[in-house]
Structure 1
Amino acid sequence: MPLPRFIAVIDIGKTNAKVVLIDAHTKQQLAARSTPNTVRQDGPYPHADVERLWAFMLESLGALQQEHGVDGISITTHGATAALLAGEHLALPVLDYEFSGPMQSAPAYGAVRPAFAETLSPLLPNGLNIGAQLFWQRQQFPEQFASVTQILTYPQYWAWRLSGVLASEVTSLGCHSDLWAPQQADFSSLVQRQGWRELFPAMRPAASVLGPITADIAGATGLLIDTPVTCGIHDSNASLLPHLGTHEEPFTILSTGTWTIAMTVGGNTDQLDPARDSLANVDAFGRPVPTARFMGGREFDMLAPNAAVPTPADVDAVIAGDVQALPSFMAGVGPFPSHVGCWTSDADALSPGQRSAAVSLYLALVTQACLGLCGMGRQIIIEGPFARNRLFAAALARLTGVPVLTSGDATGTSLGASMLFGGAAGSAAGTPAAPLDHAGFNAYANRWRARLA
C-alpha cells in the first residue's frame, strides 16, 4: 500500500482529545481540532463520554476532509483504559481510571495479581491497572460482565468503531495493566487464571492496517470508502516512534501532557521500583522500555493556574527566597507517592511569574528523581507541552548534566501515531536547552532533596 500523505490522527489524552492532520511527507501538522475529554458522572461509575467523543471525531474528520483531504486514519490514546463489548455494544461504560472504585477489591485483587518480576507493572491506585478494573467490574456487575464478548484496549476500541475490525495490541496491554508479561511477550498469568484470554482479540502490530473505514463512516464524514485505519498505539509509545533507531542508545524521551513520562530506550529494568511508580512500558516492537512517571501536567495546572513566563528576576526571587514546592500533589503516583505535597512558603504571596518559576523548578526536580529510577540516557528529548517551558528544560539540563533537547512539535504523540503507516524514521533534532545559569540553583536543589530525606 502506498504511504498515505494526509493522515488524520485521533489523539485522545486524559485531559483533551484532538484530531490532528499530519502531512506524512513533511512530518508537519497542517490542522488540529480539540475538545475537552470530559468524564461523565452518571451511570454506575465515572466513565468516558464515548458518544460525545465519537461525534467530535466524525465532525472533525469531515471538516478535515473538506479542508485538506484525509488519506488515512491513525489512533493514539492514553493508557489504563479498556472497553468491554457485548457484541456490537458496550457491556459496561468505559471506566475512568481516576475512579477509586476498583480499590474496594484491593485485598482480593492483591492476592491474585502477578508479581512485579513477571509484569514489570506496579500496583497503582484507583483504576490505573486495567487488571484491577476488570476484577472489580466482574465482582460488582456479574451479569453485565458475563455478557462480555470482547475486551478492547482504548486505541483498538476506536479502531474497531471506525473499521469494524477487532484487535489487541501490545503497547496498550503493556502499559502498567498487569495483563502482559514483557519478558515472555505474552499475556500474564493473571489473564490465564481469570479466564480472560479468550475475550481478547488476536494480536496485531500497532503499525498494521486493520482495514478501511466502514460504509457508515464514509457516509457520515465524506471520506473515501477505502480510507485505511491503523490498529493504534498507546500515546507514550507514540512519542517514542519518531526516535527509535535515530539516536545512540540509551536515550530518554520525556513525554509530557497530563502525565510526565520518562522512557529510556536501551536502558535496563534493574533500577525500577514498583513502590515509586516506575515500570516497563512495551514499545511498538514489543521491547520493554524502563519508565518512570508522575502527573506533571496535572500538577502544573493545579499549582500555577495563572501561569506566566518567568523573568530572570522571578527565578532569582524563588531561588534566593528558597521558595519550594515539595511532592506530591497527586497522591499515590510518581516517585514520591506517600509524600504529601506542600509549599515551603506562602504560595499565594507569589506573583504569577514567581509561582510559575517555582513550579517549573519543582517539575525538573521530580523529573530528575524519575530518571534515577528508569535510567538516564545520553541525551533527553522533551516532547509535548513542557518542551515550551524554557525554565523547566534549562533546570533539567543543569540537574542532569546531559544534553536536553526540546521538540518543536506541539505534541510528539500525533507525529508518532502518523508514522504507524510507515515512512522514514526520524524526527527534528530538537533545540538544545542551555543549562540554567544561576549560582544558587545547586544549593536550592540540595535543600529540596534534603527536605524529602
Structure 2
Amino acid sequence: MIGPRHIAVIDVGKTNAKLALVDAGTLREIAVEIRPNKVLPGPPWPHFDLNGHWSFFLDALSRFHAAHGVDAISVTTHGASAVLLDANGDLAAPMLDYEHDGPDTVRAAYDALRPDFAVTGSPRLPMGLNLGAQLHWMLGVDPGLDARLAHVIAYPQYWGFRLTGEFATDTTSLGCHTDLWEPWTGRPSALVERLGLAQRLAPARHAADILGTLTTEVARKTGLSPQTPVATGIHDSNASLYPHILSRTPPFSVVSTGTWVVAMAVGGAPVALDPARDTLVNVDALGNPVPSARFMGGREYDTIRSGRIAAPDAGDRQALLSGGLRLSPSVVPGSGPFQGRSGGWSCTPETDGQAMLALSWYLALMTEECLTLAGAAGPVAVEGPFARNAGYLDMLAALRPDSVIAMGSATGTSAGAALLFAGRGEQAGGTRITPSDKAALREYAVEWQQAARSETASLV
C-alpha cells in the first residue's frame, strides 16, 4: 500500500474528545479512546481544558503506537471555535465555550460590523456560535488581549500547531458560520479587517494539505517518528461529508449526527436559504460551498432521554400511531429550523418506550425539515450515533423520496479525517434502510408537521 497504513485521528466534538486509530485500507477504527470535553468555569470566561486534552492525546498516541503503529495524524474538531495565541505560541486567552452568552451583551455593536448573509452564508446565531462574535466580544472585555494576540488559528489547527509548530487555518472551519469567510470567493470577509485581525489570522489552507511533521518533543513523548506527517485538519461535519464527496455522484446528502445534526446537500435543488431557520453555507474539503441546515439534535436527545433506557416495543409503536403522542420543536429553542419555539409533549408519555420512540421520530422529522430547507435530493447518508437509532432511521426512510443509508462507522468524522491521507472514495459499510410502514409513518409525519407550525407545547 502506498501511503500511511494506520492514521491516528484527533476528534474533538462538543461532548467528547477522542483519539481514534483508523486503518487506511478499510477506514475502520482499530482503537478508540474517549475523554469528556468538559467546560471549565473560568475566569475569565467558560473555556475548554486544552492542556488536559493535550496530555490525553499524547498518552493515547503512545499507547496506539506501541500496540499498532501510527503512520500519520489527522485532526477534526467542532466548529465555531478558534484559539488565540501570543507571539511565543502560548495561549493569549483561554478558548471560549461557544455556548457562553457573553457575545449577546454586545449584539448590536457586532451586528453593525458583520457582513450580510448573502456574502458569508453565515446566519446570525446566538451566544458565540458566530466565531466573529466571539472574537469581537473577547477583544472588548479583555483590554490587554489585542496587544497579546499574535495568531488566530481555527480549532483543528491548534492541535496541528501543538504537534508540528506550524500555523494555519482550514477553509472548512473558516466556512462554518464564522462571518469571517466568503464561501463563493474563497477569501476572508471584510469582518477580519474590521476586527483588526487581517495580519493575525493564520493562512488558510485546504484540509488535506500536509501541515508539517512532528516536533522533536512530541516524537520523544509518544515514540512516533519525527517524520510522521500531520494533515491540516477539518471541521467535523465536513469530515463526515468528505468520504461521500470522494465516492458519490451528486445529488446526495449527508446527515452528520452528534451534539449537532447537520444536513448537507450536495448537488441538490436550488433553494433560497433562510438564515432565520438556521440554514447556512458550509465549505467542503475541496473548497466548494454546500447548502446546509442544522439543529442541536444530540443535545435534544440527551435532554429528553433523561436517563431512560427502555427500548420501544410494538405496543409503544401502535400507541404513537393511534394516540397522537408528539414531541414538538424545539427542545433546544436557540437553534434549528424552529428557533425561538419552546417545544414539548402533546401529552404525557405512558411508558418510557413511547417517550423514546417519539423522541426518535421527532429527531427524524427535524432532520427531514433540515434536508428540505437545504434543497436535498438523491440518497441520504446518515453518519454518527443516529445511524444506529432504528426508530430514527425508520421514520427518515419513510419520508425521503430516495434511499436512506446508515453508515457503519462508530465515528464517521474519524473516517473522513483519515481520508485526508487515504485520499480515495471507498465507503466503510452502509446499510440501506427499508421503512416498516411508510404510509403510517407518513401520516404521523403530516400531523407532526402541521402541529409544528401551529402549536407551542410545554416541555415535561
Q: TM-score band (shorter)? A: over 0.9
- Residue 280 of structure 2 aligns to a residue in which SS? strand
Matches within 5 A, 1:195-234: 195-234=196-235
Matches within 5 A, 1:432-443: 432-437=432-437, 440-443=440-443
- C-alpha displacement of 1:272: 1.1
- C-alpha displacement of 1:436: 3.4
1:318 aligned partner? 320
Letter in 1 for 2:247: T
1:390·1:433 contact (CA, 8 Å) conserved in 2?
no
Letter in 2 for 1:322: G
Cα distance in 1 for residues equivalent to 2:270 and 2:14? 27
Cα distance in 2 for residues equivalent to 1:330 and 1:66? 43
1:149·1:199 contact (CA, 8 Å) conserved in 2?
yes
Cα distance in 1 for residues equivalent to 2:133 and 2:8? 33
- Residue 294 of structure 2 aligns to a residue in which SS? strand
Matches within 5 A, 1:246-285: 246-267=247-268, 270-285=271-286
1:332 to 320, 331, 334: 334
1:366 aligned partner? 366
- C-alpha displacement of 1:2: 4.8
Letter in 1 for 2:347: S
Q: Which deviates more from structure 2 when the two are superposed, residues 436-445 or residues 67-76?
A: 436-445
- C-alpha displacement of 1:163: 0.5
- C-alpha displacement of 1:187: 0.3
Runs of 5+ unmatched residues, structure 1: none
Cα distance in 1 for residues equivalent to 2:378 and 2:241? 16
Matches within 5 A, 1:30-69: 30-69=30-69
Matches within 5 A, 1:334-353: 334-347=336-349, 350-353=350-353
Letter in 1 for 2:316: D
- C-alpha displacement of 1:195: 2.2
Q: TM-score, normalised by structure 2?
A: 0.95
CA RMSD of aligned residues (A): 1.4
Q: Deviation digits for residues 3-42 of structure 1, max 9, x if unmatched? A: 1111000000000111000010222211110011110002
Letter in 2 for 1:34: I
Matches within 5 A, 1:283-432: 283-305=284-306, 306-347=308-349, 350-428=350-428, 430-432=430-432
2:456 aligned partner? none
1:184 aligned partner? 185
2:239 aligned partner? 238
Q: Which deviates more from structure 2 when the two are superposed, residues 370-379 or residues 89-98?
A: 370-379
Q: Deviation digits for residues 379-409 of structure 1, max 9, x if unmatched? A: 1000000000111111011112221010011
Q: Which deviates more from structure 2 when the two are superposed, residues 377-386 or residues 193-202?
A: 193-202
Cα distance in 2 for residues equivalent to 1:269 and 1:197? 33
Letter in 1 for 2:73: I
1:136 aligned partner? 137
Which stretches of structure 1, 4 residues or longer, exceed 4 Å deviation after superposition?
Answer: none
Letter in 1 for 2:446: N
1:137·1:145 contact (CA, 8 Å) conserved in 2?
no
Q: TM-score, normalised by structure 1?
A: 0.97
Q: Which deviates more from structure 2 when the two are superposed, residues 144-153 or residues 264-273?
A: 264-273
Matched positions, count: 451
Identity %: 48
2:450 aligned partner? 450
Q: Deviation digits for residues 351-395 of structure 1, max 9, x if unmatched? A: 222111000110111111111210122110000000001111110
For the structure 1 residues 294 and 209, does the alpha-carbon distance in structure 2 shift closer, same or farther, using more than 3 Å as the test? Answer: same
For the structure 1 residues 245 and 2, does the alpha-carbon distance in structure 2 shift closer, same or farther, using more than 3 Å as the test? Answer: closer
- C-alpha displacement of 1:439: 5.1
Cα distance in 2 for residues equivalent to 1:139 and 1:261? 31
2:457 aligned partner? none
For the structure 1 residues 402 and 309, does the alpha-carbon distance in structure 2 shift closer, same or farther, using more than 3 Å as the test? Answer: farther
Q: Which deviates more from structure 2 when the two are superposed, residues 125-134 or residues 242-251?
A: 242-251
1:171·1:282 contact (CA, 8 Å) conserved in 2?
yes
- Residue 253 of structure 2 aligns to a residue in which SS? strand
1:207·1:422 contact (CA, 8 Å) conserved in 2?
no
Cα distance in 1 for residues equivalent to 2:188 and 2:228? 32
For the structure 1 residues 251 and 396, does the alpha-carbon distance in structure 2 shift closer, same or farther, using more than 3 Å as the test? Answer: same
For the structure 1 residues 232 and 268, does the alpha-carbon distance in structure 2 shift closer, same or farther, using more than 3 Å as the test? Answer: farther
